[in-house]
Structure 1
Amino acid sequence: MASEIEASALLRLLDEPETLHVIDVRSQEEFAEWSIPGAFNIPVEEIDARVNEVGSGLVVVVCAAGPRAERAAQILADHQMDSSVLRGGMAAWGEVYDDVTLKLGNATVVQVRRRGKGCLSYVVGGSQSCVVIDPPVEIERSIAVAKAYGWKITHVADTHLHADHVSGARLLSETTGAQLLMSHLDAYLFSHPSFENGDVITLGGDSEIQVSHIATPGHTSGSTTFVLDDTALFTGDTLFLESVGRPDLADKAEEFAGYLFDSLHQEILKRDDSILIFPAHVGQAHPFRTDELACATLGELKGRLEALSMSRHEFVAWASSQASPRPPNYEAIVEANRGGSSLSFEEITSLEAGPNRCAVSPS
């Protein structure tokens, strides 16, 4: 039986691509849909004839869940080539996390990254307490970060009603007793405190910090951006590092594209170019590194995203016409996040496998 490697160990090795060869033995269609950065696709049926393409060094073989990778590893062994199989396959890759920390004035920002899906969550703390923004359903990740810094979780917030992954906000709030903050403009089925545009979360302690929230509809009706002391914006799915949020998931693409343009120009783009943008997702092409935050200054995004310089007419026409496949199982995920699903926790979380698709295609 081939040796195995854990997804967490593979994550660390990705920072050294010159010594690593990830061979994905799924079909070309599966590979095109979702893959590990830097992976090379050789379907298992072809690997015997293409062993010369595998390369030398550390070889990790990947498939959806494991069986095809084990077959491929045996074929490689028959050719006297060592390899390891990614335990749990792409399903395990979709569940692996790491985090990176940044000090911003009196605040500390911890970016919790689910790198296999490109999902980003944030724990923002002062000296004693913190707010968790867009927490993953694996709430122990957020709790562990808060514990490591000695913070009490006093607030939990979602930037919007998520469609591509299961939110941990409600469960984290119930577990910790933190105040749950969500927009009443998104169609949640459970009661929660509603916040108004401009409301402020104050994190007390030796040095008080403030996180305010502003309405930025467009991706969803209730999309919200959180502002940290005028140094950072947590933009959810309104503004990404590669594009802007898709406006079509509510089946009102032109109307919501107009809302999105107004949100960007009235609430975000008018701010100082030095402010940092922290989105809720990044695309597959984003070059994650273990010690680097996934973020950019607003000025950097203005310089590289053509959509931000379009007229309103151009933007609406572009954003409403760039439909891409919707997130896998998005209707069931939305229903779970609304609080209306009858599925078990295990069934709900199994719906998340695959890439996120909440941005407008930049091309």
Structure 2
Amino acid sequence: MSIKKMTVEELGKKVINKEKVFLLDVRNEDAFEDWKVESDSFEYLNKPYFDLMDGIDPIKDDVPTETPVLAVCAKGNSSEFVAEELDEAGFDNIYTLEGGMKAWSEHLEPVKVSDLDNGGELYQFVRLGKGCLSYMVISGDEAAVIDATRMTDKFINFAKDKGVTIKHVLDTHLHADHISGGRTIAKETGATYWLPPKDAEEVQFDYEKLVDGTDLTIGSSKIDVQAIYSPGHTIGSTSFIVDEKYLMSGDILFIESIGRPDLAGKADDWVGDLRDTLYKRYKELSDDLVVLPAHYSSLEEQNDDGTVAEKLGVLYEKNSGLQVNDEEEFRKMVTENLPPQPNSHDKIRHTNMGKETPDLEEQREMETGPNRCAVK
């Protein structure tokens, strides 16, 4: 008996293309409620593996016979057992997710945002299982990577396939929800690694200081990447204007929410910075800039082409975090509507500072679960 496997790459295409899938998640209910493969086109059934060890009778009548059925668990083992039971019962359209939710957490789906002037290109790397967004700006034979995840081979191989050399790697801030791949990419490619110095006071490595007004020119098309100091999520948070058309907002502004100011324990101190950035600094920018955030929280934030992007002017009309004119009401909204902090956020911060060097399996465990960088 050979159960069919579905790779995370294949699942990613089904999510982006909104294909129909019946997802049978055999993890415990709390794990499923906290974090799952999300798609508007999927049907879901959550039945813990331990309830199915004596047979599949509890779900037999709920599993469809025509729609592809994908069994999912944490690592792929429990779901394979359930898939075999379904196969023996006569279901023939059964798959298991290779590597389970751990592998799904690491998948990156590159989506083209736009062609830039003079042959340049802009790509958004969508981490579908965690809601993280990274970027690559390509111009001529050079590239810059922004807010890279730890899956560095995805960026390095993508650049090789495009025939370009990564010259700059930038982080908008010191991340607390995922491990940055910035230093590793810089080391492997010879690129320059940039980090805001106000976030880097405790880092254990060399970097170039990313300050307000830092202006990088990428490749022969001379694509411009300009840094704008925009504190609030962290004290050093820095945004980028790319090609005078795009605003990479990091974890300051999302499509349907705003960034949280508490991941270094500074909510009361940084909420004023957050408000100044959102209600003053960004207000001075063009409404036509397309906002490209570093995270998204729900599928509703994705466009039909798979990108997560919206004009700044539209966000000032629709994003609830930008509609609170009273300063005290804003402070209350931000400090009283914070979700649980990301898994292992302190350990992730220390890893991104170079203070800790967890092995790969520990890094995977540290990042398991959804991102929680937004004020709800």
Give the aligned partner of residue 7 of structure 2: 6
Give the aligned partner of residue 225 of structure 1: 239
Relative to 1, partners in 2 of residues 1:340 and 1:223: Cα closer, same or farther, differing over 3 Å? same
Kindly indicate whether residue 190 of structure 2 is the aligned counterpart of residue 177 of structure 1.
Answer: yes
Kindly state the Cα deviation for residue 291 of structure 1 after the two structures are TM-superposed. Answer: 4.1
Within the candidate set 79, 99, 102, 2:110 is matched to 99
Kindly state the Cα deviation for residue 293 of structure 1 after the two structures are TM-superposed. Answer: 1.5
Asked whether the 8 Å contact 1:123–1:145 carries over to 2, the reply is no
Give the aligned partner of residue 282 of structure 2: 268
Within the candidate set 144, 152, 160, 1:147 is matched to 160
Give the aligned partner of residue 354 of structure 2: 339
Give the aligned partner of residue 131 of structure 1: 144
Aligned residue pairs, count:
360
- Tell which deviates more after alignment, 221-230 or 96-105: 96-105
- Tell which deviates more after alignment, 279-288 or 56-65: 279-288
**Residues 105-135 of structure 1 deviation map (CA, whole Å, 9 limit, x = unaligned):** 3431111122111111111122232211011
Relative to 1, partners in 2 of residues 1:287 and 1:27: Cα closer, same or farther, differing over 3 Å? farther
Relative to 1, partners in 2 of residues 1:198 and 1:18: Cα closer, same or farther, differing over 3 Å? closer
Relative to 1, partners in 2 of residues 1:234 and 1:341: Cα closer, same or farther, differing over 3 Å? same
Distance in 1, matches of 2:138 and 2:357, equals: 35
Give the aligned partner of residue 240 of structure 1: 254
Kindly indicate whether residue 99 of structure 2 is the aligned counterpart of residue 84 of structure 1.
Answer: no
- Tell which deviates more after alignment, 108-117 or 43-52: 43-52
Give the aligned partner of residue 192 of structure 1: 207
Relative to 1, partners in 2 of residues 1:80 and 1:238: Cα closer, same or farther, differing over 3 Å? same
**Matched position secondary structure for 2:197:** coil
Distance in 2, matches of 1:305 and 1:245, equals: 12
TM-score w.r.t. structure 2 length?
0.90
Kindly indicate whether residue 332 of structure 2 is the aligned counterpart of residue 317 of structure 1.
Answer: yes
Kindly state the Cα deviation for residue 343 of structure 1 after the two structures are TM-superposed. Answer: 2.3
Asked whether the 8 Å contact 2:231–2:237 carries over to 1, the reply is yes
Within the candidate set 270, 277, 296, 1:256 is matched to 270
Kindly state the Cα deviation for residue 297 of structure 1 after the two structures are TM-superposed. Answer: 1.1
Relative to 1, partners in 2 of residues 1:304 and 1:175: Cα closer, same or farther, differing over 3 Å? same
Distance in 1, matches of 2:319 and 2:289, equals: 16
Kindly state the Cα deviation for residue 64 of structure 1 after the two structures are TM-superposed. Answer: 1.1
Give the aligned partner of residue 181 of structure 2: 168
Relative to 1, partners in 2 of residues 1:81 and 1:290: Cα closer, same or farther, differing over 3 Å? farther
Asked whether the 8 Å contact 2:256–2:320 carries over to 1, the reply is no
Distance in 2, matches of 1:273 and 1:7, equals: 37
Relative to 1, partners in 2 of residues 1:190 and 1:334: Cα closer, same or farther, differing over 3 Å? same
Distance in 1, matches of 2:258 and 2:116, equals: 25
**Residues 202-256 of structure 1 deviation map (CA, whole Å, 9 limit, x = unaligned):** 1241x32211101111111111101113200111101111211111112221221
Kindly indicate whether residue 64 of structure 2 is the aligned counterpart of residue 55 of structure 1.
Answer: yes
Give the aligned partner of residue 41 of structure 1: 45
Relative to 1, partners in 2 of residues 1:268 and 1:172: Cα closer, same or farther, differing over 3 Å? same
TM-score w.r.t. structure 1 length?
0.93
**Matched position secondary structure for 2:24:** strand
Kindly state the Cα deviation for residue 17 of structure 1 after the two structures are TM-superposed. Answer: 4.8
Asked whether the 8 Å contact 1:94–1:353 carries over to 2, the reply is yes
Asked whether the 8 Å contact 1:245–1:358 carries over to 2, the reply is yes
Superposed counterparts of 1:116-127, under 5 Å: 116-127=129-140
- Tell which deviates more after alignment, 119-128 or 103-112: 103-112
Q: Which amino acid aligns with 2:45?
A: N
**Unaligned stretches of 5+ residues in structure 2:** none
Distance in 2, matches of 1:15 and 1:152, equals: 28
**Matched position secondary structure for 1:53:** coil
**Unaligned stretches of 5+ residues in structure 1:** none
**Residues 27-84 of structure 1 deviation map (CA, whole Å, 9 limit, x = unaligned):** 2111111001135132131652232222232111111112321232233234322311
Relative to 1, partners in 2 of residues 1:345 and 1:257: Cα closer, same or farther, differing over 3 Å? same
Give the aligned partner of residue 108 of structure 1: 121
Relative to 1, partners in 2 of residues 1:51 and 1:17: Cα closer, same or farther, differing over 3 Å? farther
Asked whether the 8 Å contact 1:336–1:348 carries over to 2, the reply is no
Kindly state the Cα deviation for residue 350 of structure 1 after the two structures are TM-superposed. Answer: 3.5
Identity of aligned residues (%): 36
Distance in 2, matches of 1:169 and 1:239, equals: 21
Kindly state the Cα deviation for residue 340 of structure 1 after the two structures are TM-superposed. Answer: 0.3
Kindly state the Cα deviation for residue 268 of structure 1 after the two structures are TM-superposed. Answer: 1.6
Relative to 1, partners in 2 of residues 1:150 and 1:296: Cα closer, same or farther, differing over 3 Å? same
Q: Which amino acid aligns with 2:125?
A: V
**Matched position secondary structure for 2:297:** coil
Q: Which amino acid aligns with 1:135?
A: A
